[in-house]
């Protein structure tokens, strides 16, 4: 493992730190300041739209301007967005900023992450695709994904400790870590000089036969995951009202989900090393079953157990989807493919205020039944479409 890839993993780790802490803190805090569930989810949805519109462009840009430069730009954008997101929340809380400015200010802060922060992921995964063997692709992608997930575990834990100092401290620290990662990438990631005659125009699009099936899979997974992420805080608060220390219980939920995903990634891509088709099927079954069980839980312990199984499924689906897409592309299309995948992954957050939260407002457990149904559709799609069986990538 070269030092450049280590810094890429650290960069994704810092992004994970902030992403999970934002989902833990912002929804309940925004609700306390007067924003509704739909308004709160809209903040993330608008950012997701910006991410979807720019990610493919950043992937193509990494082909031209280099993986390192685009990854660094994304980390800087993410760093700025962390500060821009937390500032209006606490200005309103301290009566410095009028409440009427809160909603648009939060949208602006999160929008920066969608527009610029979206550059890091496609550039990072394209770099790994450039420098890994086909037979190691799934494992390498799983390790990259694990770096992000480890950050999502550490975010609520470290953030909770830093939160004791001041409420703003975690956001400033996480922002600073992203800047450190960008400096590390600049000095340690080896970037080959790109000459005009060496550039080959990407010949794939969203609708290419070797692209769209994987994008559909990623989009449906994204909706299931985003619905879960944005509903955890509300669900625990609304369902387990008799319990104390609800913010801690919410943080534990995110930690369990991420830890189980990390464990499953290393277990099934490294030690057991299932092929991509089996990873996709098993992951979908685990997620569907866990969502169905989640809809009927009556205790926080049972809810935690369903989250663990959901994380196991997620840990199989995400790297297998990314690896399958990459392995179906020519070398000159890796940046574009990574960008296309990055552009559909936020679709879930875009659809949460339109689909997930209205379902949740009718009856919270209906949302989990809906997600279970989506996972069943994913299973059927994987079985029926031939591209998932054409190359098992053993």
Q: What is the predicted pLDDT for the residue at 192?
A: 57
Contact residues for 298 (Cβ-Cβ < 8 A; gap 6+): none
The residues, ordered by sequence, that sit 6+ positions from 271 with a Cβ below 8 Å of its Cβ are: none
Q: Maximum CA pair distance of the chain? A: 67
pLDDT band at residue 199 under the 50/70/90 scheme: low
**pLDDT for res 232:** 87
Neighbours of 370 (CB within 10 A): 18
Lowest mean pLDDT among 66-75, 78-87, 90-99: 90-99
Find the helix packing angle between 212-239 and 37-65, rounded to 10°: 150
Q: What is the mean pLDDT of residues 44-73?
A: 89
**Among 46, 326, 3, residue whose Cα is nearest residue 190:** 3
Q: Does some domain include residue 199?
A: no
Mean pLDDT in the chain? 86
Residue with token string 């992420």 = 229
The whole-angstrom separation of Cα 76 and Cα 338 is 20
pLDDT at 60 over 70: yes
Looking at the domain assignment, is residue 201 inside a domain?
A: no
Q: What is the mean pLDDT of residues 353-374?
A: 92
3-state secondary structure of 342: helix
What is the pLDDT, as a whole number, of residue 389?
Answer: 77
CB-based burial, 49-74: b 16+ in 10 Å, e otherwise: bbbbebbbbbbbbbbeebbbbbbbbb
Listed ranges 97-111, 189-203, 233-247; the one with the highest mean pLDDT: 97-111
Whether residue 87 is predicted with pLDDT greater than 50 in this model: the reply is yes
Name the residue with higher pLDDT: 73 or 34: 73
Q: pLDDT tens digit string along 261-320? A: 888 887 877 777 778 899 999 999 999 999 999 999 889 999 999 999 999 999 899 889
Range(s) of the domain holding residue 45? 3-190+207-390
233 belongs to a structural domain: yes
Asked if residue 222 has pLDDT above 60, the reply is yes
Domain count for the chain: 1
- The CATH number covering residue 39 comes to 1.20.1250.20
Task: Please list the helix, strand and coil fractions of the chain in percent, rounded to the nearest 5, in that order.
Answer: 85, 0, 15
Residue 375 domain-assigned (yes or no): yes
Report pLDDT for 182: 96
pLDDT above 90 for 35: no
Considering the domain boundaries, does residue 119 fall inside one? Answer: yes
With respect to residue 200, please indicate whether it lies within any of the assigned structural domains.
no
pLDDT band at 89 (very low <50, low <70, confident <90, very high): confident
**CA dihedral sign of residues 95, 98, 102, 105:** negative
pLDDT at residue 321 in the model: 92
Region 38-55 average pLDDT: 85
Under DSSP, the state recorded for 192 is: P
Q: Is the pLDDT of residue 194 over 60?
A: no
Residue 85: pLDDT band with limits 50, 70, 90: confident
Q: 274, 251, 3, 245: which is closest to 138 by C-alpha?
A: 274
Task: Evaluate if pTM is beyond 0.75.
Answer: yes
Q: Given this model, what pLDDT does residue 393 score?
A: 45
Q: Is the residue at 197 inside a domain?
A: no
Q: Is residue 195 part of a domain?
A: no
pLDDT at 234: 84
């Amino acid at each position: 493992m070269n030092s450049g890839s280590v810094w890429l993993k650290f960069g994704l780790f810092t992004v994970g730190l902030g992403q999970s802490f934002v989902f833990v803190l912002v929804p309940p805090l925004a609700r306390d300041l007067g924003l509704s569930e739909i308004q709160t989810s809209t903040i993330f949805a608008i950012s997701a739209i910006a991410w979807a519109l720019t990610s493919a462009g950043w992937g193509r840009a990494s082909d031209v301007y280099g993986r390192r430069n685009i990854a660094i730009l994304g980390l800087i954008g993410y760093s700025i967005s962390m500060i821009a997101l937390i500032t209006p929340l606490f200005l309103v809380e301290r009566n410095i900023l009028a409440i009427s400015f809160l909603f648009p200010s939060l949208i602006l802060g999160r929008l920066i992450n969608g527009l610029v922060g979206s550059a890091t992921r496609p550039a990072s995964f394209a770099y790994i695709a450039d420098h890994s063997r086909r037979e190691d692709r799934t494992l390498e992608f799983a390790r990259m994904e694990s770096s992000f997930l480890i950050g999502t575990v550490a975010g609520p834990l470290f953030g909770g400790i830093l939160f004791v100092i001041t409420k703003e401290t975690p956001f400033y620290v996480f922002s600073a870590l992203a800047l450190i990662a960008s400096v590390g990438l600049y000095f340690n990631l080896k970037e080959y000089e790109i000459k005009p005659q060496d550039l080959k125009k990407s010949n794939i699009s969203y609708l290419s036969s070797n692209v769209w099936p994987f994008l559909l899979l990623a989009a449906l997974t994204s909706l299931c995951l985003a619905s879960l992420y944005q509903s955890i805080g509300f669900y625990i608060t609304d369902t387990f009202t008799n319990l104390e220390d609800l913010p801690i219980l919410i943080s534990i939920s995110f930690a369990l989900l991420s830890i189980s995903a990390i464990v499953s990634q290393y277990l099934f891509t490294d030690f057991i090393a299932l092929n991509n088709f089996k990873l996709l099927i098993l992951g979908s079954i685990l997620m569907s079953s866990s969502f169905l069980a989640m809809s009927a839980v009556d205790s926080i312990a049972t809810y935690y157990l369903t989250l663990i199984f959901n994380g196991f499924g997620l840990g199989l689906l995400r790297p297998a989807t990314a690896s399958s897409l990459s392995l179906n592309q020519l070398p000159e299309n890796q940046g574009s493919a990574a960008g296309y995948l990055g552009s559909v992954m936020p679709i879930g957050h875009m659809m949460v205020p339109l689909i997930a939260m209205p379902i949740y407002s009718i009856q919270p457990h209906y949302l989990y039944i809906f997600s279970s149904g989506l996972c069943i559709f994913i299973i059927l799609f994987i079985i029926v479409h031939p591209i998932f069986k054409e190359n098992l990538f053993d």
